[in-house]
Amino acid sequence: MSAGNAASTEQVFDRVTRRIAPVWPLDSFVAVNPYWGFADRPFAEVAAQLQGTAGERVIMDRRWYADLVQKGKLTLPDILKAAESLDLSTNEEEWRDYLRTSPESPMRLPTLPELMDRHGHASIAQYVVEQISRFLAAYYDRGQSLWSYPKDPKLGLFGSWRQYTIVDRSLGPMGLKAIRPQLLALSPDGAEARRWAQQTLAIPKVAEEAYFLVLLKSVGGWASWCRYLLWQAEMQGGSHQDLVDLLAIRMVWETLLHQTARPKVLERWQQQIQGWIRADKSADLEESRRGEALLCASEIAYRRQVASVIRRQPARPKTGVEATPLVQAAFCIDVRSEVFRRHLEGVMPTLDTIGFAGFFGVLLDYRRQGDFAPRTQTPVLLNPGVHVEEQGPGPIIQRRFRRLRRSAEWKHFKLSAASCFSFVETAGLSYIGRLLADTLGWHRPSLPPDEAGLSAAERASLQCVLPASLSLQERVSMAEFILTGLGLNRGVAPVVLLIGHGSSTTNNPHRAGLDCGACAGQTGEVNAKAAASLLNDPRVREGLVAKGWNLDPNCCFLPALHDTTTDRVEILGGLDEPRLNIEILTELRVALEKAANLTRLERMLRLEPDLQDSQVVARNMGFRARDWSQVRPEWALAGNAAFIAAPRWRTREMNLAGRAFLHDYDVGKDPDFAVLTLIMTAPLVVANWINLQYYGSIVDNQRQGCGNKVLHNVVGGTIGVLEGNGGDLRIGLSEQSLRDSNSGLQHEPLRLSAFIEAPKEQMDEIIEGNETLRQLVDNRWICILQISPEGTIYQRQAVGQWNPI
């Protein structure tokens, strides 16, 4: 192969692997846009490509939309309006006929193992995925397996798989022993193996890239894991070869089967590839464009609902003493905060809430005492710049270590090969108490890592300390960044509450997915504590005042944590501050409890609508957090559809049903648009990831979701889950997080609509200046709308083209 051809081939491999979105491990599970690798292409084109290659659905079936029309939830005028915006036919009768007919499944690219499957025999296609998955689970194990897989770093992923497969005894029962000599003759180098497989398969050039993508998608969960490893390496300026090695493994499997398959199977395989090449792809694209029109019509209907509740002017402008509230409570923009904020403002009119990304502007990582490496507490799109350390009394740290060690030893005893079968007999009747406690929910929920091994008093004594290497000037700059982001340029209240969020669950591998996405799948406790500590620092306060900040000397910043399962808000520290106003604190505590009751009552309507008594509801929510069999402790972010960046008065007292990310933003306090740039390039993109993870998990749960939670088994310690005891690594959200048997879907598949109160020209400039954001907007993965100063809503169509809705 010439140098030019080799370079071209490597470019093909690189493009294929870049189409895969990453998946984060269970202990830092964050929502990911599953179409991230396709953001550079228009939505409808991607839908047609994925449906016509891997058979992956990107748009709901037209029959689903026809049902919405029949129920009156979707109207033909909205469909025609959407069709017009996408340059499609606006003939009403034509659309009626379209909704009445059933869609035809497009031809997709077949892989060789699928054509080798025979009725009544074990599936070759399934075996290939199982064999690769078993190997990868052992290879990447993070401490779950008691017997670790022996790895040779020199071999790499492909070389290790080759070595594993040569001695794999499962080949015989599948009738595949003949591939062993071919594998022995194959180079252990992944790059050479890819080139050999490419030449042997001889896929026509026009279909080659699509075929390789289908192969990688056949082990898409593990491909996403390898993409995560590459993502992490590139964030640190490095690289990682495992993803292309995984592609090599899948290509080599295809090639080995190619050399052992019957001639008739090979002939049929080649015919189907040729048929796919000759097939009219324009029909698939037209079908996807029509599907997008139906999706767009649903979004038009939802935007109209949001536009109807956005205020055109403040209900009652504050003047004089009222201008500065007694308390300002800063919440994460998470949609679950919208419900709590609304009720908290209602029960305490002298309080204002603020919406800001849950990391509170502190780009940090955090290392507990005794940990070998820090963990990220920053949006995964960004690199942490501040290293925060845990600080506390030595005896407490030692006690935590001893408790955690005893717990680990007990677990090892239960699971080890020597004792697992005799455990019940050994434990005997003494274990009945624990079984009853698990069943009746008498114990505490599973503890997050920062609480495990600690009593409440011990936990309160630990602090999150900024590094001593940070100069006073750097600390003051950080404080300015936080205050500016929170919109506290002026009028800071006597008490400012910084409220992170987390969730309480038991026996839930995806518990981190219920915590803060802005804190990389952790609770916001560390970020709230670090920000409050910084802003309470007397030297920092002096530096802020010297730079012109109008801060009341008695102003006190308190960290807190909102538990989104129980809706309890816990104040985490700062109560011993001498400047803290006790009367205000007492009023605040009462308001937090009242707001929690109202929030629980509202959320329970979606969980168990028959429960209406506040005390019964509170007990039920607490039990959900402790119940080891609960598959749905809360609905999390199901239903999310809007992102609103505007002054709070635009939406205050308005019921957005927990479907909107609320980010406070006042353009009058942002003269250089630095905060607007941050909002549009970080929190907005994170919200897009969350939105499209829910979207993808709804429209194709088989490929972008993780199936039935009841069947999940953790693999690799913290890598992810399998559904059942084998198959591909499952990604995305479970069915139980999206729907229930009584009320059906709890998440409506809509792309995110972002309402932002800022000048159109400035938003255009930010979009054009950020390649990631530009692709998401221009290719219709997200919709940008402007709230004008008068309250009129304009939708962005292109640079400089904004149309009123």
Residue stretches of the annotated binding site for Zn(2+): 332, 334, 501, 516
Identity of the amino acid at 269: W
Comparing CA positions, the residue from 335, 666, 656, 360 lying closest to residue 496 is 360
Non-local (6+) Cβ contacts of 578 within 8 A are none
d(Cα 704, Cα 600) in Å, to the nearest integer? Answer: 30
Strand ranges (E), 597-659: 642-646
- Beta strands (DSSP E) in 356-484 are 364-367, 375-376, 386-391, 463-465
Contact in structure between 369 and 397 (CB atoms under 8 Å): yes
Sign of the dihedral defined by the CA atoms of residues 87, 44, 747, 660, in that order: negative
Q: Of the candidates 492, 490, 531, which has an alpha carbon nearest to the alpha carbon of residue 360?
A: 531
What are the structure tokens assigned to 750, written together? Answer: 């809509």
Distance CA 390, CA 135 (A): 37
How is residue 739 annotated by DSSP?
E
User: Phi/psi class of residue 466: alpha, beta or left (left: φ > 0; alpha: ψ in -120 to 50)?
Assistant: beta
Distance CA 752, CA 754 (A): 6
E strand or H helix at 794: strand 793-798
Phi, psi (deg, nearest 5) at residue 798 = -165, 180
DSSP letter string, 328-368: EEEE-S-HHHHHHHHHHHHH-TTEEEEE--TTTT--EEEE-
- Which one-letter amino acid corresponds to residue 532? A
Gyration radius (Cα) of the chain, Å: 28
Instruction: Tell me how far apart the terminal alpha carbons of the chain are, to the nearest angstrom.
Output: 57
Give me the residue label for tokens 């006073």.
472
Pair of tokens at residue 75: 């109207």
Which amino acid does the sequence have at 250? R
Whether residue 781 contacts residue 59, with contact meaning beta carbons closer than 8 Å, is answered with: no
**Which of 781, 804, 792 has its CA nearest to residue 757?**
792
For residue 350, the one-letter residue type is: T
Beta strands 327-331 and 495-502, pairing class: parallel
Beta strand 386-391 with 463-465 is: antiparallel
* C-alpha span between 33 and 144 (Å, rounded): 28
Binding positions are 332, 334, 501, 516
List of residues 6+ apart from 295 with CB closer than 8 A: 59, 60, 749, 750, 751
| Two tokens, residue 218 | 């056949």
* Nearest residue to 777 via CA among 769, 381, 300, 646: 769
Tokens of residue 618, six digits: 């509170």
CA angle 194–199–203, rounded 5-degree value: 100
- List Cα–Cα distances, 795 to 301, 427, 661, in angstroms: 14, 65, 18
> By the 8 A CB rule, do 711 and 724 touch?
yes
CB atoms within 10 A of CB 406: 11
* Tokens of residue 216, six digits: 């990688």
Helix (H) or strand (E) holding 722: strand 720-723
Token code pair at residue 473: 């000037």
Which has the closest alpha carbon to 56: 773, 699, 719?
A: 699
Indicate the length of the chain as a whole number: 805
The residue assigned the tokens 């003759």 is: 185
